[in-house]
Structure 1
Amino acid sequence: MAKKLAIIASKGTLDGAYPPFLLASTAAALGFEAKIFFTFYGLQLLKNDLSLKVSPLGNPAMPMPVPVPSIVQIIPGLEAFATWMMQRKLKKKGVASVAELREICLESGVELIACQMTVDLFDFKNSDFIDGISHGGAATFLEFASEADITLYI
């Protein structure tokens, strides 16, 4: 019987996208049955249009080339700069893109579940999302998570 990994993805940022996809794709490669439940802002990770950003605001651990005092972080354009900087670093280090990791998950049999309540709450349409995902509620995911060997909230 395969081990099971259950992940709840609630963040819709560029830096928040990597942990669930990396962990799930690695688990699948190791023979785990893996499912990711995308809820609230995490639904952004399942959309056709991946326009993910990084915000240095409220993220004191973000490594910046120079220390940035909190008050400076509200300057217009800093979020765009931080996003560009992160994308550049990821590319330079040869890290797969979020879209590539998402595709690897699908190809590896990781089930990507859109929280139906959140889909309804934010008035999303099925056409907003990539093909190959499923929809379900908290009860559906919790049934799997209650049997999982590892459950993570990201």
Structure 2
Amino acid sequence: MSKLSIIVFSGTDDKLIPVGVIAQGAAALGMDVQIFVTGWALTKFIKKPANPVWPKEFESMVPLLMEGMKKNNAPSWADMLKEAKSMGAKVYACSLMASVMGLKREDFNELVDDIVGVATFLQNAEGGQTLFI
């Protein structure tokens, strides 16, 4: 497997952490990595991102998780994505959802490389592994 594409739909931090881990790991292995951000996840990739959001069933465990991440010097999901990008990973915002949410290129933070449609994403993903998170 030399190509990994990740579709990121959820805007909850419990999903974004694995996106960062997997993207960084795949990029470190030399894989071509592309991340397609759509749905509620777009709110985490704008210049003024949404506050951390955790599913209700995990809220009681969040302090322990945060303490463990700090104790292990684990980077944030955003820092992991920055590292993946430094190794060639690309992050794309979904053009349809961006339009529906009234977001333009200038609204997105430095993690987003471009706004593309699903056809472009699918063409880029062809022949590789695709994950939906």
* Structure 2 residue matching 1:52: 3-state secondary structure: coil
Runs of 4+ displaced beyond 6 Å: none
Aligned residues: 131
Map of 1:30 onto structure 2? 29
Distance (Å, rounded) in 1 between the aligned partners of 2:35 and 2:106: 20
Confirm or deny that 1:130 pairs with 2:104. no
The aligned runs of 1:9-88 (5 Å cut-off) are 9-50=8-49, 51-55=51-55, 57=56, 59=57, 62=58, 83-88=62-67
Instruction: Note the residue ranges of structure 1 that are not aligned, 5 or more in a row.
Output: 63-78
The 10-residue stretch of structure 1 (127-136 or 33-42) with the greater mean CA deviation from structure 2: 127-136
Q: 1:36 to 1:52 in 2, by over 3 A?
A: same
What amino acid maps onto 1:139 in structure 2?
A
CA contact (8 A) 1:8 1:153 kept: yes
Superposed CA offset, 1:105-137 (max 9, x none) = 221110101001111111123232112521101
Identity %: 29
Normalized against structure 2, the TM-score is what? 0.85
Query: Which amino acid is 1:128 matched to?
Result: D
Q: Is the 8 A contact 2:21 2:77 kept in 1?
A: no
How far apart are 1:85 and its partner, in Å?
4.7
When the two chains are superposed, the root-mean-square deviation of aligned CA atoms in Å is 2.0
C-alpha distance in 2 between matches for 1:41 and 1:23: 20
Q: Contact (CA 8 Å) 1:54, 1:82: kept in 2 or not?
A: no
The verdict on how the C-alpha distance between 1:125 and 1:26 changes in structure 2, with shifts beyond 3 A counting, is: same
Q: Deviations over 1:4-24 (max 9, x none)?
A: 001101111111111112111
Q: Is the 8 A contact 2:23 2:81 kept in 1?
A: no
Counterpart AA for 1:135:
I
TM-score by length of 1: 0.75
CA distance in 1, matches of 2:74, 2:13: 13
How far apart are the structure 2 equivalents of 1:107 and 1:141? 20
Give the secondary structure class of the aligned counterpart of 2:26: helix
Q: Which runs of 5+ in 2 are unaligned?
A: none
**Alpha-carbon deviation of 1:82?**
5.6
